[in-house]
A and B are shown apart, each in its own frame.
Chain A
Amino acid sequence: MAKIAVRHLTKSYNGGRVVALQDISFEVQPYESLCILGPSGCGKTTLLRLVDCLISRDQGEVLLDGEPVTTPRPDVAVVFQHFGLFPWKNLEENISYGLALRGEARQEIAQRVERYIELVGLRGFEKSYPYQLSGGMQQRAGLARALAVNPSLLLMDEPFGSLDAQTRETLQEELSKILQQERKTMLFVTHSIDEAIYLGDRILLMTPRPGRIREILGVKIPRPRDISRVRSDPQSIQLRNYIWAQLKQHADNS
């Protein structure tokens, strides 16, 4: 059974004047990672919101593990494009947010928080408030908060968008490792073609106005993957050129 099944999903804003998504259908298998690529405004964030039922859809349906979603599920964690940290909680409290809501034991929370703070490289900032952190640090905190609840499905909205190239690579590798070890399914929105190729089992290309699926491409590079090796892999070079041409073609047309 598919982990995510999206069928004929349509969503518009402003009483139908802005069609953000039109007739989107795709499936994601368990433990698969699907990367979503597309120009700004093509409806990627909208799609993620619909999958976790954070906004209402106009038409179509979303099934998680075969069941229609009607409300956000606790085993789905979202990394938001807007970070979404609570300004009045320090880093520790922000990262433990999901765990605290579940009523986990204090010790368990402390352990997991420490582990994920370490993982995203924020040791020493436990007591800092978001305003004391840089944009990239806040983004990593959002990532740690989502990972800490050990979700079966991760919805990530450009989670590495504000990071420098080195940090970005480190976190891509860490994430790839986590996906392997902890067996998670992931929807990952990005603007970076290389990132999509490295992290994705498949890549979903979107076109804007209205947001539609242009094409779904498979990435048949075996795992575990090594970043520099993936970058120079002939298949990945070919894929990158192809995707680039597709996106550029669309940009030229509009």
Chain B
Amino acid sequence: MRTSTYSWGIRFLSLLVVLTAWEIYGRSVNPILFTYPTAIAAAFVELVSKGELQRFLMQSLEVFVYSFALAVVIGIPLGILLARSQTLSLALEPYLHAVYSTPTVAFIPLIVLWFGFRVPAKVVIVFLFMVFPILLNTQQGVKNLSQDLLEVARSFCSSERRLWLDLIIPSSLPFILAGVNLAIGRGLVGMVVAEFFTSVAGLGYMIVQYANSFETAKLFVPIVVLMALGVTLIGLIKVIERKVTPWQNREQGEI
């Protein structure tokens, strides 16, 4: 209890010092080049009251949610298949690794060419950013089955269905969640980059637009929102992780 109060105190104090320093320094700099927290807060209120921020945020989230759903629905089953079928993994692995190893940004112009500037193109781009960590982690998780536990299941004459329930799914779950975690980080990057490129909608477009018009305080608003989005999503995964894989909650030191 005491340590928890202590660590929250330190965090709060650190935040206060940094924000104050930023405020003081920010006010002394040309507002085109830099800004300060209260100016960002004012810009935030303005953009929200005009409904602009919500609109762009929803556009981004729409793309993100579709891509995420696709990445999960395709990545997890395909990962499982690749882990269970050697033929399939031998046949597909070269391509998967080739595409995964290529910086995904390199594909964006091609995808824009094929799918246009709107939601479908962006969904494909963000999907490409997200699917590989999920797919490859799932594959690794299913493959990393403990031979000892497999032996236990066989000795108790487990059916194939129960084998999945008792062994394969729970043992690969932490891997899958780690993949999802990675995918979310990559997906946010993909989303912003896609919006830079297509420049018609979303938080990324908002950033480009306000950078071009030198409205630096407003430029910071989508950045802060993206930051909050990243923190929230990763935190959400952590919570889910703790809930569905309680056996992984070993005692650890202070975070």
Residues of A with Cβ closer than 8 Å to B? 49, 52, 54, 71-74, 76-78, 80, 82, 84, 86-89, 97-98, 101, 129-131, 149
Contacts and interface: CB of A to CB of B under 8 A. Distances in A.
A186 B181 CA distance: 49
Contact of A54 (B155, B158, B245): B155
A242 to B, nearest CB: 34
A164 B159 CA distance: 36
Given A54-B151, A80-B152, A82-B148, A101 B247 contact: no
B162 interface: yes
Contacts of B157: 71-74, 101
Given A72-B154, A74-B157, A87-B247, 10 more contacts: A49-B151, A54-B154, A54-B155, A78-B155, A82-B148, A84-B149, A86-B166, A88-B171, A88-B173, A101-B159
Given A101-B157, A129-B247, A149-B156, A84 B151 contact: yes
Contacts, number: 53
B167 interface: yes
Interface of B: 148-149, 151-152, 154-159, 162, 166-167, 170-171, 173, 245-247, 250
Nearest to A76: B155
Given A84-B148, A101-B162, A129 B156 contact: no
Given A77-B155, A129-B246, A86 B167 contact: yes
Tell me if B's interface is mostly helix, strand, loop or mixed: helix
Tell me if A's interface is mostly helix, strand, loop or mixed: loop
Contacts of B246: 129
A26 to B, nearest CB: 21
A144 to B, nearest CB: 14
Which of A52, A78, A87 has the largest number of chain B CB atoms within 10 A? A87
Contacts of A82: 148
18 contacts: A54-B154, A71-B157, A73-B157, A74-B157, A78-B155, A80-B148, A80-B151, A84-B148, A84-B152, A88-B245, A97-B156, A98-B156, A101-B157, A101-B159, A101-B162, A129-B247, A131-B247, A149-B156
A87 B148 CA distance: 12
B116 to A, nearest CB: 45
Contacts of B154: 54, 72
Contacts of B149: 84, 86
Nearest to B246: A129
Contacts of A98: 156
Given A84-B149, A129-B247, A101 B156 contact: yes
Contacts of B166: 86, 89, 97
Contacts of A97: 156, 166
Contacts of A80: 148, 151-152, 155
Contacts of A73: 157
B169 to A, nearest CB: 9
B163 to A, nearest CB: 10
B234 to A, nearest CB: 23
B247 A52 contact: no
A183 to B, nearest CB: 21
